[in-house]
Amino acid sequence: MDFNQIIADLKKKVYHPVYFLQGEESYYIDRISDYIETNVLDEAEKEFNQTVIYGRDTDIAAIIATAKRFPMMSNYQVVIVKEAQNIKNLVGRAEEEKSDKSKNPFLAYIESPQRSTILVICYKYKTLDKRTSLGKQVAKHTVLFTSEKLYENKIPDWINNYLKNRHYTISPKAAMLLAEYLGTDLSKIVNELDKLMIDLPVNSEITVEHIQNNIGISKDYNTFELQAAIGKKDVLKANQIINYFASNPKEYPLVVTIISLFSFFSKILTYHCLADKSKNNVAASLGIHPYFVGDYEKAAKNFGTGKLKNIISDLREYDLKSKGVDNATTKEDDLLKELVFKILH
């Protein structure tokens, strides 16, 4: 089942005996488990019928024993197992390969669960192997939800949709700035967006100025603006930005800047290879908002394919140097200055 379907069923009070929530992206796992924890039972029922357990503090036998209890003065009891990936004997290698329920009591339970119990297993940052007995049985007998990690190029659209559902909008540049600065951690992104919405009336558009004033991300000195300056071959602006980075090394580590530049120049190289350079096709092929297509068109005029291949080679070289390969003394800020000089000349 997908996230929206699970939440819709929960809102309709359609409950299932076992929810197995797994995957690299913890945000949706937390959303589902938090909804169940907050909404299934009322406050009086929670006192006797809601149990929250952490995987590192328990084992599968204790969890099953708790799940088999009957509720007190309630139709349901809720048992939520957080950080279930830390349960030592849930996914033992030997247990995975056997269907013998005596080897894994969890298999026996999910085949015949306590119908008055809602058991929620939060198995974060990994997934069960679908080929194993345990993986197959979990898929067959539980509400299995897999939370996939979003790729970086999907984050701006995700930000747009999150805000749209709350009656806000965001400028393309602001969405890209947030994505560049916060990465793919959805919980971190949501935390910052929620802080922004507190200070803005409904139906507002979030701009780069709002982000700078409320989150502290500079609208003028960031990896996104560095890309733009380099793409235009604006030497002065590019050097202003890398000098700012040099004075704030913890916020702008060299390895992150190199990754950002590698992505930027890889997209420009892809642009050169496109037969159809219409705005919509370029946006789709590069995984960017149509608003930014013009920036890549200009950058492609300034950097031919031969130069781009040299730049990508330089990026790889300086990535290794930043990690100490063939470099014992040069500091990160000097490496960045050398790199940007090579790119622009």
pLDDT in tens, 284-297: 999 888 989 999 99
- The CA distances from residue 320 to 235, 256, 324, 332, in Å, are 25, 13, 7, 12
> Is the domain 223-344 a CATH 3.30.465.10 member?
no
Handedness of CA 4, 147, 115, 141 (dihedral sign): positive
pLDDT tens digits, 232-276: 999 999 999 999 998 888 888 999 899 999 999 999 999 999 999
- Both tokens of 73, joined, read 């003065």
CATH architecture of 3-146: 3-Layer(aba) Sandwich (3.40)
Q: What is the DSSP letter of 23?
A: E
pTM of the model: 0.77
Domain 152-215 sits in CATH at 1.10.8.60
Q: Is 312 helix (H, G, I), strand (E, B) or coil?
A: helix
| Nearest of 241, 200, 207 to residue 224 by alpha carbon | 241
pLDDT tens digits, 307-323: 999 999 999 999 999 88
CATH 1.10.8.60 domain span(s) along the chain: 152-215
CATH 1.20.272.10 domain span(s) along the chain: 223-344
CATH 3.40.50.300 domain span(s) along the chain: 3-146
pLDDT, averaged per 10 consecutive residues of the chain (345 residues), comes to 94 97 95 97 95 93 95 96 88 49 79 96 93 90 95 90 95 90 90 92 94 86 92 95 90 90 95 95 91 94 96 94 86 92 94
Q: Tokens 């960031």 identify what position?
A: 222
- 223-231 helix and 172-182 helix, angle to the nearest 10 degrees: 120
